[in-house]
Structure 1
Amino acid sequence: MDRRKFLKNTLIGAGGLVLALMVTGCGVNRQEYTNIVLIYVDDMGYGDLASTGHPTIRTPNLDRMIDEGVTMTQFYSVASLCTPSRAALLTGRYPIRNGMTHINFPNSEHGLPPSEITLAEILKSRGYATACIGKWHLGHLPEFLPTNHGFDYYFGIPYSNDMDPDWPYNPAYLPMPELPLMRNEQIIEQPCVQETLTKRSTEEAIRFIEKNKDQPFFCYLPYVMPHLPLHASDEFQGQSKRGLYGDVIEELDWGVGQLLDALRRLKIDERTLVIFTSDNGPSIQPNLDVGSSGLLRGSKHTTWEGGLRVPFIVWAPNQLPAGKTCMDVGTTMDLFTTLTVLAGDSVPRDRNIDGVNIMSVWQGESKQPHDPIYFYHGNRLTAVRLGKYKLHLWKNVLESTFGKWVKCDSPELYDVEYDPSEEYNIAYENVEIVSHIENEILMFKDQLQK
C-alpha cells in the first residue's frame, strides 16, 4: 500500500480537520489543538549553550526557554550525519530501514523514498498547515523536495551549505553548482547569501505562523547554522567573545527569542509546543571555528556521545512543567511518535516505527525505560545504548570528522550515566551485560530482515 492510500485509509478525519489533543495540567482537553514548532539546528554541540556551561556564548532566550520548559539531558540523534539524522526525525525510523544512511550531495539522484510517511504528512492529514524553513537535505530533485513530503510550503537550501564551489575544504564535492536558495520548487537566489540566512529563515517562520495563527500549524525550522562555513548577519558579527562561532549561536538564540515573542504577541503561546534540538554533535576540523561537545567524548561523524547526544528543550506554557530537568533517555525518532499521538493519531501500522511516545516523560509522570538505541555510521552498526550502558563495536580512532573507522578488538562497554565522557571501558568486568546487548543486536538484525 502506498503512503497516500495508507493515510487516507487509516487517519480519521472530520471534514478534513480533526482537532488534536492538548495536554494540560488537568488532563486532556479535546476541544483544543496544539501547534508545533520544531527547531532543528545543524551541528550544535552539547556544550554550546550558556545553560550547559559555555563561559563566553550568551544564549538568554534559550536559557529562558529552559527555565520555562523541560530539558532532556540524555537525548540522542540516532546518526551523527546530516541526511540520516533528518530521515530518522521525520519518519520515526532508523535510516537503515529506508536507505537514507549516507550524506546526499548535489549530484545524488536519490532522496527520501516516496513510500516513507513523514510527520508532516500525518499532521497535514489532521488539518495542520505545514512548512519546512531551512535546510532539507533529503533529496534535491523535485520528487524528493519537502512539498512532495507533506509540507505545504518550503523556503531554504536543498542540501548542506558547504556544498558550494566557494568552500575550499570539500574538494570531493567538486564540480558542483553554486548553492541555491529555494521557495517551494523554484530557485530564487543563486548563490545563496548565507550571511542573512538565519535572519531570513526566522522572518519566514514568523510570517508562516502569523498567516496560520487561527488554525493548527506545524513549523519545521531546520536552521542552516552552525554548520560550516559559518555566517552571521552584520548585527551579530563581532559581538561574541567566542568569535564567529559565538556570533552564529547568539544569532540563533535571537531567532528563538523572536519566535517565542511572536507566539506570545499572537496569544497562541499556551496552545503551542516548541522543541529545540540539534541534528548531531559539533564538527571537529583542525584550524576551523567549530562547536564544543562539553564533557562528552567525540564529535560529529563519530558514535561517541559527543557526536550523538544533543541539546534538547521542549517548551509548552501551562501544558508541561516549567524548569524541569529530565534524565530519561530519548531520541529524535521519538518526536515522530510523540507528536503524532499529540495530534490525536496513532503511528502507521504497516511498517516498523522505532520511535516511542515520551510525552509522559516530559510531563514528569513516568520513568520509562527506553528500547535499545542502535547507532549506525552509514550501513554499519557501530554502537548500541541499552539502559545506562553503551556498547561500541566500531570506533573512529581520530575522533574527528575525517577520522578512520576501525573495528574494536573486542566490544567496549561504558556506563554513560556514570561516565558520560566514555573514558573507562568496563567490558571485561561486565561480560553478562555485553552478552545481553549482543543478543539484542542479533534480534534487531533478524527483525530488519523481515
Structure 2
Amino acid sequence: MSPLLNLQLALLLAAVVGIAGQTTAEEAKRLPNLVLIFTDDQGYQDLGCFGSATIKTPHLDKMAAQGLRLTSFYAQPVCGVSRAALMTGSYPIRIAEPGNIKRLHTVPHSKETTIAEVLRRAGYATGMIGKWHLGLDQKGVPGGMDPETTPNAQGFDYFYGTPKYNGYTVYVDDVDMRVPIMRNQEVVVEAVEDWDHITATYTDEAIRWIEAHQQQPFFLYLAHNMPHIPLGASEKFKGNSDAGFYGDCIEEIDWSCGEILKTLKQLGIDDNTLVVFTSDNGPWVETTRAMEPRGEAFIPRDHSGNADPLRGWKMSAWDGGCRVPFIARWPGKIPAGWESDEMLSTMDLMPTFASLAGAMLPDVDLDGKDATDFLTRKIEQSPRDEYLYYSGCLLTGVRSGSWKLVLPRSESPAGLGWWGRMIEEVPDPLLFNLDDDPGEVSNVANDHPRIVASLMKRIERARSELGDIDHPGSSARSFDDGPRKLQRPLH
C-alpha cells in the first residue's frame, strides 16, 4: 500500500472517529513530525554540552539549550542489540528472533512490530537513512540480507543506507570486507571504498526526504554510520578538530544536525517537529586487543571517543557502555534549557512516539514507557524506575534511582562471543551510588544491605520474566518452534 493511500486511510479513520468526539481529520493533519538522529559508537562526553573540551558542537549545544538534555539516558552496549531495543521497545533478550537463535547482534523476527510499523499504521510517512544492522544474512540477494528483515519489510517506506556496519578495522584496506549501500531493495554502491562522504550524503538524502514529505506527518530515522571505525569525514571537516579524526567525524555530524534543523525552519514545520539526538552505545575504546597491557595495538586513541566521567566503554558492562548523550528539541512543547538526571532509555521512544502520533502499540509485553508528559515537563519524574544491564543474554546488573547493583561474573563470560573479551571478572556483588560516584569506583554494598536486597528482588523478577544467559524468561517472545538457542553456546 502506498504512503499516500496510507495517509488517506488514516485521515478517513480520524474523521470517522472525530464524529464520536475524539480525533478529527484536521487534528490528524497536525500530528507532530518525528526525527530521530542516531549516531554509532559516540561517547557520553563527546559533545560540548556533555563536557567535551576538544570537540566543537555548536548546533547540538544550541539544540540542547533550546530543549532538553538527559544525563541518565540508556541504550544497549553493542550496535545491533541497541538498534533492536530501539526499534521494538523491548530488551533484546525479550525479542523473538528467526529460528529462536539469540544472536550476538539481535535480528528481530519478521513478526516483531517496529516503531516504523506502528507509526506507518497511524498515517505517517516513514523514512530510514543510514545504518540498519538488524538484518539476517542471506547470500544471493541484494545487499546480502534476508528480504523479510530489511527496513522496507519492517515498516519503512523508504530506505537509503548500509544493511550492516561499515567495518570492524581501523582502515578500510585492513581487510577485504566491503559494504554496499542500498536504496530500498536496490544496491546503488556495490562496495564502499572510503567513508569520507557518508555523513554529507546522508544529510542530503535526509533533507530531500523531508522536503518531499512535509505535507504529511512523517517519521525520519537518520542512523549515521559515524563515528564507528573505519572513520570518514569530508574535506571541509577532516583535520579541523582538536580531537583528531574522531572529532572531525563528530563535528561533521553536528553540522548535519544543524542542516536538518535549518531545513525544518525553512519549511515552516520546525514548531511541529520533535527532534531527538542520541547514540547507540558508548565509544569503542580498545587501544590494544581486549585492552591487554601487552596486547597487539588496535584502535588509535584519536579514532575513538570518551565516556568520561563514566567507567567503561562499548561492549563493557559498566555505564560507559550503554549510557549515552540525549538531546530533545520541540519548540513550544519541550521547555528550553531543561536538564534532568532522571532515567530514560531508547526502549521508551517507541511508546512515546506512538502516544504523540495517536498510534496503537502492538499487543505484546513491552519494556518501554510512554514518556510524553516527562519530556514535555508536565511531570518532573520519568516513568522509568529501573534499567537492567544485559550483555547479550547475560544479566549483569540493575539500576534503580541512583543505585546500581553489579552482579558477580566471570572474565569473558561464556555465551558472549567476540565481545565477551571486554568484560572483566567481578567476584562479589558491587553497589554504587551513581549520583556520587558515576565512575563506579567505590563499592558500598556492605554499607547498604537493604538496598542490595531490594535490587536483588528486581534481578530475580528479571531472570524469571526476561531470562538470563542460561534460560529463557516466561515473557520472552518466540514465533518459531523449538527451544531458545544461543549463537555462541555456553558449552
> Fold conserved (TM > 0.5)?
yes
Q: State the superposition RMSD in angstroms.
A: 2.5
Aligned to 1:436: 454
Aligned to 2:479: none
Aligned to 2:47: 49
Counterparts of 1:19 and 1:280, CA distance in 2: 43
Contact 2:181 2:187 in 1 (8 A): yes
The normalised TM-score by structure 2 is: 0.80
- Deviation of residue 369 (structure 1)? 5.5
Counterpart mapping for 1:257-268 below 5 A: 257-268=258-269
SS of 1:56's partner is coil
Aligned to 2:119: 123
Q: Which stretch has the larger CA shift, 147-156 or 43-52?
A: 43-52
Give the residue type in structure 2 aligned to 1:444: A
Which of residues 85, 88, 100 in structure 1 aligns to 2:85?
Answer: 88
Residues 1:420 and 2:438 aligned together: yes
Contact 2:39 2:280 in 1 (8 A): yes
Unaligned runs of 5+ in 1: 5-11, 21-28, 105-109
Contact 2:70 2:340 in 1 (8 A): yes
Aligned to 2:190: 190
Counterparts of 1:396 and 1:43, CA distance in 2: 25
Compared CA separation, residues 285 and 415, structure 1 to 2 (3 A): same
Which of residues 340, 354, 358 in structure 2 aligns to 1:326?
Answer: 340
Counterparts of 2:157 and 2:359, CA distance in 1: 20
Counterparts of 2:244 and 2:16, CA distance in 1: 46
Unaligned runs of 5+ in 2: 2-8, 18-26, 136-144, 288-298, 413-417, 466-472, 476-491
- Deviation of residue 347 (structure 1)? 2.4
Give the residue type in structure 2 aligned to 1:189: V
Compared CA separation, residues 397 and 249, structure 1 to 2 (3 A): farther
Aligned to 2:222: 221
Aligned to 2:150: 145
Give the residue type in structure 2 aligned to 1:157: T
Aligned to 2:236: 235
Q: Count the aligned residue pairs.
A: 419
Compared CA separation, residues 14 and 218, structure 1 to 2 (3 A): same
Compared CA separation, residues 62 and 394, structure 1 to 2 (3 A): farther
- Deviation of residue 361 (structure 1)? 1.6
Counterpart mapping for 1:18-417 below 5 A: 32-77=30-75, 79-99=76-96, 102-104=103-105, 111-139=107-135, 140-162=145-167, 167=172, 177-192=177-192, 193-286=194-287, 287-288=299-300, 289-349=303-363, 351-366=364-379, 367-368=381-382, 370-394=384-408, 403-417=421-435
CA distances 1:166-209 after superposition (whole Å, capped 9, x unpaired): 6477x7xxxx7521111111111122241110000011011000
Compared CA separation, residues 423 and 397, structure 1 to 2 (3 A): farther
Compared CA separation, residues 138 and 18, structure 1 to 2 (3 A): farther
- Deviation of residue 102 (structure 1)? 4.2
- Deviation of residue 294 (structure 1)? 1.7
Counterparts of 1:276 and 1:377, CA distance in 2: 24
Counterparts of 1:181 and 1:15, CA distance in 2: 37
Counterparts of 1:88 and 1:51, CA distance in 2: 26
- Deviation of residue 19 (structure 1)? 12
Percent of paired sites with the same residue: 39
- Deviation of residue 35 (structure 1)? 0.2
Compared CA separation, residues 19 and 197, structure 1 to 2 (3 A): farther
CA distances 1:384-436 after superposition (whole Å, capped 9, x unpaired): 111211111156969x9774535532211111122111111111111111111
Contact 2:410 2:426 in 1 (8 A): no
Counterparts of 1:323 and 1:74, CA distance in 2: 16
Counterparts of 2:49 and 2:279, CA distance in 1: 16
Contact 1:285 1:401 in 2 (8 A): no
Counterparts of 2:443 and 2:10, CA distance in 1: 52
Give the residue type in structure 2 aligned to 1:159: K
Contact 1:164 1:178 in 2 (8 A): no
Which of residues 11, 15, 26 in structure 1 aligns to 2:12?
Answer: 15
Compared CA separation, residues 348 and 334, structure 1 to 2 (3 A): same
Contact 2:207 2:263 in 1 (8 A): yes
